[in-house]
Chains A and B, each alone.
Chain A
């Protein structure tokens, strides 16, 4: 009974070709996060939504955008993927503040050719 679902599990795109990763949740949580993890490094927060309020991290490249059309869905758009954007992208949700645990999807592994 997956509660945070990410599609696809593996995504291959070409250099410069826009790509969208999707995340959905059945938990009705207020907060949704996108993390990027490059091999064996710490997951890095790209941005998060608190309900409809979008919060971008200062060092997230402009190439990365996000949409949250409703409570259940959140999308990560990479407008012009570069080779350096190849990574695992994790979506997570939480009910409220960071004193609540995060629920993660299984991630999307992005390859850029």
Chain B
């Protein structure tokens, strides 16, 4: 199991503002990194699966970058909306399984 750190643990954002947060993981034997969004009372939903150093992926207003050499990934939310309020989980892998972080909980204030 990998040691995965997500920071900050929580953040509050004003509607319309942009924000970003970090996932840090051991860089050795990197295989893949996943990002999931988990809204209250719903199922966690996959945002991105990233495998290559320097990867950048985008889904609407949300994007992610990956640095496998230094062991981190950033998730960006542009122009935050109330529906972006959720816990964002990252999960890197160095073998057949994912190791989840504890998540960053984002609250968007109208």
Chain A interface residues (CB < 8 Å from chain B): 4, 35, 40-45, 48, 55, 90, 92, 97-107
Contact = CB atoms under 8 A, between A and B. Distances in A.
A99 B49 contact: yes
A106 B41 contact: yes
Interface stretch (B14-22, B63-71, B78-86, B95-103): B95-103
B102 A104 contact: no
Interface string B18-45: 0000000000000110101000011111
A41 B98 contact: no
A98 B96 contact: yes
Contacts of B102: 40-42
B46 A101 contact: yes
B93 interface: yes
* Majority secondary structure of chain A interface residues (helix, strand, loop or mixed): loop
A98 B97 contact: yes
Interface of B: 1, 4, 31-32, 34, 36, 41-46, 49, 51, 89, 93, 95-103
A40 B40 CA distance: 12
A97 B32 CA distance: 10
A104 B48 CA distance: 14
Given A42-B4, A42-B103, A43-B89, A98 B98 contact: yes
A43 B36 CA distance: 12
- Which 8 A-B residue pairings sit nearest by Cβ, starting from the closest? A101-B46, A98-B93, A104-B43, A104-B44, A42-B102, A42-B100, A43-B100, A106-B43
Contacts of A48: 97
Nearest to B47: A101
Contact of B96 (A35, A97, A101, A106): A97
Contacts of B1: 45
B44 A99 contact: no
A101 B98 contact: no
